[in-house]
Amino acid sequence: MTCTLKEGDLVVIEFDERRRFVTRLRKGARTGSDVGVVLHDDVIGSPCGSYVPVRGGRGGYALVYKPSIIDVLEHGFRRATQVIYPKDSALIAVLAGVGPGARIVEVGTGSGFVTALLAWLVGENGHVYTYEVRREALETAKRNLAMLGLEKRVTFHHRDARLGILEENVDAVIVDMPDPWDILDEAYRALKPGGVFAAYTPSAHQLYMLMERLLEHGGFTRPRVMEVLLREWLPEPEALRPASTMIAHTGFITVSRKVTKKEQV
């Protein structure tokens, strides 16, 4: 099956490994960098994954292809807040069992990076309900989700979830907020039996407080705690070796499940 790029398509224009841009193709438009410019008219009608000329600058060619969800998150989304890296958000989603048809509550929308991944995973029959207290961040998230056409899979609440989560019987509650222990009662009420509570905490103090409250609560299983360290390798056949830098600690991931409290048995 052939793939031809057309006007309106979302694409990655890759000048080199350090210069990647996600943009939507428009007749007469251009995407520029410090090494030259790609005319969208040169891209429209080209096969996916092909090279197009770089005008001006150093010349040469740029690679153009349709983006993955990670391409859009890393090179297309605007940031109004600190974000959770894909290395962490992907593991959170897997551990929380996010998949087609799932109903997910997210506390702490931020710029919508995790929201977008969740909306992409739940598919057309699932839904994400996300809570954010900062209006500016919420508006940024809405624009970001619209870039991927995923906004219809998301309900955006400009609301402090600690004052009440409006949904019930959801599959998972995923939390990115400074004090996740303050949401435990609301998360417990919103989750279906056996549903997953997952939290992202950057500091060890936050992790300690969350662990203490989770164990005291009585309505959650003993949590799993982990972090993800990511190191790329340099793909040089004659000198294959790890890169000299890596993305090390960014945050702790804590996962637990809702269970019946002993006094309810």
Encoded tokens for 65: 């292809």
Is 132 marked as a binding-site residue? Answer: yes
CB-hemisphere CA count at 13 Å for 239?
A: 2
Residue type, 22: V
Sheet with 154-158, strands from edge to edge, namely 154-158, 127-132, 103-107, 170-175, 191-201, 252-257, 224-226
**Beta pairing class for 36-39 and 241-242:** unpaired
Residue 110 Ramachandran class (φ > 0 left, ψ -120 to 50 alpha, else beta): left
- Hey, how many other C-beta atoms are within 10 angstroms of the C-beta on 202? 15
Cα dist. 2→5, 28, 45, 48 in Å? Answer: 10, 25, 12, 8
| 14-35: burial string, b at 16+ Cβ within 10 Å, e else | bbeeeebbbbebeeeeebbbeb
Binding residues for S-adenosyl-L-methionine: 132, 176
Binding residues: 132, 176
